[in-house]
A and B are shown apart, each in its own frame.
Chain A
Amino acid sequence: MSDIQPAKRAEVSVWNSGKNKFLARPLLYLVLIFGAVLMVTPFVWMVSTSLKGEGAVFEYPPKVIPNPLHYDNYKQAWTTLPIGIAYLNSLKIAVIVTAGSLLTCSMAGYAFAKMQFVGQKFLFMLMLATMMIPGQVTLIPMFMWFSKINWVNTHWPLIIPPVLSNAFGVFLLRQYMSSIPKELEDAGRVDGLNPWQIYWKIVLPNCKPALAALGIFTLMGNWNNFLTPLIYLDDQKKFTLPLIIASFQGLYSTDWPLLMAASCISLIPVLIVYIFAQRYFIEGITLSGMKG
């Protein structure tokens, strides 16, 4: 935290102060707006195609607003594959993993930041060192173990490992908790609180920004996760949203209006959440970047 200096910012100074402006204002706006339009175009194209009839897709030049509008694609996308169930599956997994990781990571972060114990330094370094290991290395042995205990085609492999092994989360929260003044805990100790009560009642409420940041990352990462569900899940009723979208592609590879309607259905809730929680996304990234 200490390396953020909010007092005086270097706004404006780089580009447009002094005589030699890098870009004049109108030109700057033009460039930025043009870029923003480019960024949003794929989504516009997705929505536009999702409302087209079969024939309209192959028109040249393509129309942005199709006439007539085909809402049927959405109905078809919703009914051909269990997209609603996939929603619930994704939501269930992402929420459980996020809540679970916040708990276990903050517990470990608290111990590493605020307690002294045997092997503390070693365990912390070990944890940091494992952050370098790419997930693909552990993928194969874990798959073999989980098939032994019949966890293949269940949601357990997508829930238990991410909740119990999140070194990044421990690190992020440990760094944040280290900056909480010791006096706060001492006050609790004087009141006769045990370490769990101090953690739960005093330290946790003071880490809300870090918890929000980690929460958003975990939620987003698990909601969009593709490789692990792809490996573990066979039964369509257990599929997560990215898997269902991939199945659409496998089954209807040239029915673009249907494919775009399915993509649209899968993206809309994320975009709505983003619009309302934009501040937390931005703060979360900033915080994690500072720590790194």
Chain B
Amino acid sequence: MSTWTRRWVRDNAWAYLFIAPQILGLLVFVIGPVIFAFVISFMKWDIGSTPEWVGLTNYSKQVSDPIFWKVLKNTSVFALLNIPLTVIGALVLALMLNQNLKGKTLLRAAYFIPVVTSSVAVALVWTWLYNPSYGLINSVLMSLGIEGPGWLSDMKWALPSIVIMTVWQGVGYNMILFLAGLQGVPSQLHEAAKIDGAGSWQRFWRITIPMISPTTFFVVIMLLIGSMQVFSEPYMMTRGGPADATNVLVLHIYNTAFQFFRMGEASAISFILFVIILIVTLIQFKFSKWVNYDV
């Protein structure tokens, strides 16, 4: 072997040594299971019984299942409420905190604290806040002369109640991302625009918003993926009730697989979730012309 070949072999050996743990993990814990999940999504496989090939039945069954459509609708409503509320809340907070204020650190900490707490524990706290008879929210409303709804036990309010809690928990995280985005806006741009006579409102729409569009894009994509996968909150607060009003995709997968032990069907639903996330993300990338990367 020439020195060059020997060196090439040695360099490759080192590199594969370095990537070995993660690449093996990728094969065994991601790619392998995904292929296996795809295969069992075409089987009737109830735990304890022998698997049986059923073709597309697990998929076609969903189309005619009203619960599936309800779950899909709930997940979409959750995402459509959660994303704009969190984005607007986080952006407004970031704009307000992106200045020389006294006590800025303390204020920022207050908005950020819910981010680090466990969803399970705060879901329990919010269930108590939402308690129709003795919860803090309805007590406050009562002192204002308003009779509050049943929140989590109310068909109409249950899902929005979970959204409110999710926004409360997630707004601080995204506020930090927007703060970082705002710090990247060069102040020369604002100064130049000011000289040209642009008002602050105009500068906000013409400079700040386009300049932070990469951050906004990132935030929206992450919120979307997160919203599609919401689980702990509805599991803890409502178990999907009342009457499936808060039943969402992942909760539905969990129930199908680990309450009813229909593994094949649950795999099919998880693939539908995957495809939905994929399509919506690709659409976002397709329509991402508003995102301004070149500054």
**Residue positions of A touching B, CB distance < 8 A:** 3-6, 8-18, 20-23, 28-29, 31-33, 35-36, 39-43, 45-46, 49, 57-58, 60-62, 103-105, 107-108, 110-112, 115-118, 120, 123, 126-127, 130, 132-145, 160-161, 163-167, 170, 194-196, 199, 220, 223-224, 226-227, 230-231, 241-242, 245-246, 248-249, 256, 259-260, 262-263, 266-267, 270-271, 273-275, 278, 281-282, 285-286, 289-290, 292
Please name 14 pairs of A and B residues whose Cβ atoms are closer than 8 Å in the assembled complex, sorted by A. Answer: A9-B183, A13-B191, A36-B111, A40-B110, A103-B21, A116-B11, A123-B23, A167-B22, A246-B120, A248-B124, A256-B128, A270-B118, A289-B181, A289-B218
B117 and A271 contact, CB distance less than 8 A: yes
A134–B230 alpha-carbon span in the complex (Å): 11
Q: B residues 102-144 with Cβ under 8 Å of A?
A: 106-122, 124-129, 131, 133-134, 136, 139, 142-143
* Known A137-B270, A271-B117: A227·B22 in contact at CB below 8 Å: no
A140 and B182 contact, CB distance less than 8 A: no
Identify the closest chain A residue to B120 (Cβ): A242
Chain B residues in 8 Å Cβ range of A167 = 22, 26, 30
The dominant DSSP class at the B interface is: helix
Q: Which of A43, A49, A133, A260 neighbours the largest number of chain B CB atoms within 10 Å of its CB? A: A133
A8 and B187 contact, CB distance less than 8 A: yes
A134 and B277 contact, CB distance less than 8 A: yes
Q: Residue B260 at the A interface, CB < 8 A?
A: no
Q: Residue B284 at the A interface, CB < 8 A?
A: no
A107–B22 alpha-carbon span in the complex (Å): 9
A10 and B182 contact, CB distance less than 8 A: yes
B113 and A39 contact, CB distance less than 8 A: yes
A134–B281 alpha-carbon span in the complex (Å): 13
A195–B17 alpha-carbon span in the complex (Å): 10
Chain A residues in 8 Å Cβ range of B183 = 4-6, 9-10
Interface residues on B, range: 35 or more
Smallest beta-carbon distance B206→chain A, Å: 12
B184 and A104 contact, CB distance less than 8 A: no
Against A, the Cβ 8 Å flags (1 = close, 0 = not) of B138-155 are 010011000000000000
Identify the closest chain B residue to A144 (Cβ): B263
Pick the residue among B117, B201, B254, B273 that contacts A134 (CB under 8 A).
Answer: B273
A120–B23 alpha-carbon span in the complex (Å): 11
B22 and A130 contact, CB distance less than 8 A: no
Identify the closest chain B residue to A275 (Cβ): B109
B25 and A164 contact, CB distance less than 8 A: yes
Chain A residues in 8 Å Cβ range of B19 = 107-108, 111-112, 123
Identify the closest chain A residue to B229 (Cβ): A134
A36–B96 alpha-carbon span in the complex (Å): 12
Chain B residues in 8 Å Cβ range of A132 = 277-278, 281
Q: Residue B70 at the A interface, CB < 8 A?
A: no
A245 and B120 contact, CB distance less than 8 A: yes
Q: B residues 274-294 with Cβ under 8 Å of A?
A: 274, 277-278, 281
Smallest beta-carbon distance A152→chain B, Å: 11
B33 and A142 contact, CB distance less than 8 A: yes
Identify the closest chain A residue to B13 (Cβ): A117
Q: Residue B67 at the A interface, CB < 8 A?
A: no
